[in-house]
Every structure is written in structure tokens, then in C-alpha cells.
Amino acid sequence: MNISIIGTGYVGLVQGVVMADFGMNVICMDVDCSKISMLNKGKVPIYEPGLEELLNKNIATGRLHFTGNIIESIHNCDIIFIAVGTPSKEDGSADLKYILEVARQIGRNIKRRIVIVNKSTVPVGTGKLVRQTIQEELDARNAKIDFDVVSNPEFLREGRAVQDCLLPDRIVIGTESDRAAEMMKKVYDVLFINQTPFLFTNIETAEMIKYASNAFLAVKISFINEMALLAEKAGANIQEIARGMGMDGRISPKFLHAGPGYGGSCFPKDTRAIADIARNHGEQLMIVEAAINANEKQKQKMVEKITSELSKKKKLSETAIAVWGLSFKPETDDVRDAPSIDIIRGLIKEGIKIQAYCPKGIPEAKWRLEDVQHAVTYFDSEYSVAEGADALVLITEWAVFRGVNLKSIRELMRGNIFFDLRNVFRKNKEIKNIFEYHSVGGSD
């Protein structure tokens, strides 16, 4: 089967590489010519563990190709996966301009019946809009060509995207066409044989499953973060609270880790989008909106926590802070909506100078923080960043930070305050002998 993937971001690129590994003939298309050139040379433009090796393996087999020509990718396929971005507009709604431009190109160029699959995260009703857009272009051509539209949302976690594609929790397929359903079964035949759970439903339900899943996880994170704020004031221990809650099978321990707030390419964007979808349908998602507000509050609380303690020692304008971690989570270079960005901005606003290190997040952080570059200095290791700092703030829990020699870090620093916003070292019995230690959620 010949498959075209339009868009080579996290979703499209990983999906294309893995589908080639499943034995499909895959052509990945993107308008970014420099990216296509890099991919054709076997180089991956994003950091994703295991992806480059799998990419080169499937290029070598001849099953994986890359192009900047959308017409070529449309003509030579049985199924087209649309995996372009759906960024947030200022009002929080999803911007569908890239999706609809692809739909227009499909309508202008298809020659035979194909299946069009929305892989991007899109609002409820997008499948119908894509169908309408393609049909309008076909009518303008006076062309009578049947086509099917399918919703097949992705559930990839950055840093584990390859594994999530190879061993997914479930495959959701929304379609009203028996033919399209059978085609999708063939696409995922390897997973079907391995008894991966499949859910076949209508398009609108499939579209909403993705948003509902991410919104629920965001609510869970915001909930435990608010419990952490209360635990600090009440003298309770949030890690033990989370552990006790997680023992309840109805709750589970997943996503019950207090921290500085959620970020990344999905949770912030998708919670805002589903809240906007609800408003457009005359409903208000009060719990989701509360989670969004709580997440913003959490980041501000981290700024207040840090500045409150530091102001007891010296003037904030004379203070330098070392920051560990800029990406929104470990094992990714993605800094989109990362808590580090808002926290760093908040600290700089108070006059604090920032020394920053992240294993993979520095290149993106540099341009995202370009307007405050006068107050940020970037370093090349977890040790060098600590030199001369009055305090250390761990924002992203990369594994490399867990294995540091804390005594050596302290010797490099000017001060001795450590803000562990991920509670990585909370159970370390020696930590309080080395630092004035502050975690999230009380009872240090």
C-alpha cells in the first residue's frame, strides 16, 4: 500500500517512519525544503530517541521517501495522512488554515478514489469541513471522484513517540465508510495482529476523543498542583498524598506528580481549543477552564516561591539563578509553552539574572527568550551553569540531573539554595546537609 504523509513535524515524521517500518511504501511531504533536504540525507530535524535510526533503516529498504512536491505525494498514494500543524489563534481556537490548504490541494489534484485521514488534532466538525473543501474543488474541476475522510487522532508523547507508534494503547478510527475502515485495518495490520485495541466510531467522536483525553490529563495535573499548594500551607506531604490517591484503582498514580505546571505542544493548545469548541456549541467547560487558569497560577506561584526566599538573602537585582531544564519535559527539544519560559520571564521581571542549561532545549529557548536575552546566559553543562549562582532551580527532570554530584554543584555556587520544582531529590537524605532545599508540596 502506498501512503502519503503531508507534514513532517513530530506527528507526521514519526508516523511516516513507523508506517514504513510496518512495510508500507511511504512518501513524506513538507513545504520546508531545508527540512526535506535534511531528511533525504538521513538526518532528523527534531530530537526524538530512536527516530533517526529507524528513519535510516527504512530509507535503506526503499520504503521511505521525502519530497517537497505536494502534487507528487497526492498522485502516488492510496491513503493521504494530513499531519500539519493546528496552532492556537489568539482566542484559543485551533487555526485550520494549513489543514484546509491541504484539503484544497487534494481536491485539485486527486485522480482516483483515495482515503484522506486527519492525523492532526482538530476540532469536532473538521472532518466534514475537509470533505466539503475537497468536494468544492472537485466540483470546480467538474470531476466525479469518490473519496473517504477518516479521523485517526494521534496519542504520541514527545520523547516516547516512536515507542507509542510501535506499541500504542489504542487505535481510534472515525469513519462512516466500510471501505475506509478496511483500508485503515490494512494500514495498521501489524498492530491488529498484535491485538492492539481498536475503536471504530464516527468522525466527530474520534475527533473529540483526542481533545477529551488531553483535557482530562491536564485537569489531573492542575488538580495535584493545587493540592501541592495547599499541602505546603497545611504541613502535609504532596508525594504521600499522591501515592495514597494513586492506590485507588479508580484514580491511578499516573499524572499525579506535582510540579511547576504543564506545557508542550498538546496540553496548553488542546485545552484552550476544546474550551473554545464548547463555547461555539453554547456550553462552558468549567472544569477545563479552571485547569487552564490553575496551570497559569502554578507557574506564577513558582516565581513567587523563588523570589520570596531569595529576597530574604539579598537584593533580587544582585541575584543570579542557575536553571536546570528548559524543554517542557525530558527527552525532547520542544520548548513550546514550557513552564521554564514563563518562570524565567517572571524571575527576570524581578531583576534576577538567569544562567540556563538544558541537554536539548537551548536552541529553541534562545529564540523564544530573545526579547530578554540580556538577562539570560546559556551554559554547556549541568556543572558549568551552577558556577557563581546564588540559587539553583530544577524545572525539567532530565535524567542527567539525577546523577550529578551535589556537593560539587554546591562548591561551584555562590549561594546554597536549591528549588527542586520536580521533587527529584526530595527523598535524598543528604540534600539538606548540602543545600537549603525547597521542593513542591510541603513537608521537606
User: How do residues 51-80 score in pLDDT, each as one tens digit?
Assistant: 999 999 999 999 999 999 999 999 989 999
Kindly report each contact of residues 429-433 with a partner whose C-beta sits within 8 Å and lies 24 or more positions away, as own/partner: 430/406, 431/406
Question: Within this chain, do residues 274 and 398 fall inside the same structural domain, yes or no?
Answer: yes
* pLDDT, mean of residues 81-85: 95
Question: Within this chain, do residues 132 and 65 fall inside the same structural domain, yes or no?
Answer: yes
Q: What is the pLDDT of residue 437?
A: 96
Question: Within this chain, do residues 194 and 222 fall inside the same structural domain, yes or no?
Answer: no
Among the three residues 145, 167, 201, which one is the final residue of a domain in this structure? 201
Catalogue the active-site residues. Answer: 266
Report strand pairing: 376-378 vs 391-394.
Answer: unpaired
Q: Count CB atoms within 10 A of the CB of residue 317.
A: 9
Threshold 0.85, pTM exceeds: yes
Q: What is the pLDDT of residue 444?
A: 61
* Residue 206 domain flag: no
Spatial separation of the C-alpha atoms in residues 414 and 187, rounded to whole Å: 58
Q: What region does 437 belong to: left with phi over 0, alpha with psi -120 to 50, or beta?
A: beta
Cα–Cα distances (Å) from 115 to 19, 108, 191, 372, in that order, read 16, 15, 20, 47
* Residue 210 domain flag: no
Question: Within this chain, do residues 387 and 340 fall inside the same structural domain, yes or no?
Answer: yes
Question: Within this chain, do residues 63 and 186 fall inside the same structural domain, yes or no?
Answer: yes
* Residue 193 domain flag: yes
Question: Within this chain, do residues 136 and 282 fall inside the same structural domain, yes or no?
Answer: no
**Whole domain around residue 266: which residue ranges?**
215-438
* pLDDT, mean of residues 254-279: 93
| 145-157 tens-digit pLDDT | 999 999 999 998 8
Q: What is the pLDDT of residue 193?
A: 82
> Which CATH number does the domain housing residue 377 bear?
3.40.50.720
Mean pLDDT score of the chain, rounded to an integer? 94
Among the three residues 201, 226, 249, which one is the final residue of a domain in this structure? 201
Helix (H, G, I), strand (E, B) or coil at 28: strand
* pLDDT, mean of residues 101-117: 95
Question: Within this chain, do residues 235 and 134 fall inside the same structural domain, yes or no?
Answer: no
| 176-211 tens-digit pLDDT | 999 999 999 999 999 988 889 999 999 999 999 999
Tally of domains within the chain: 2
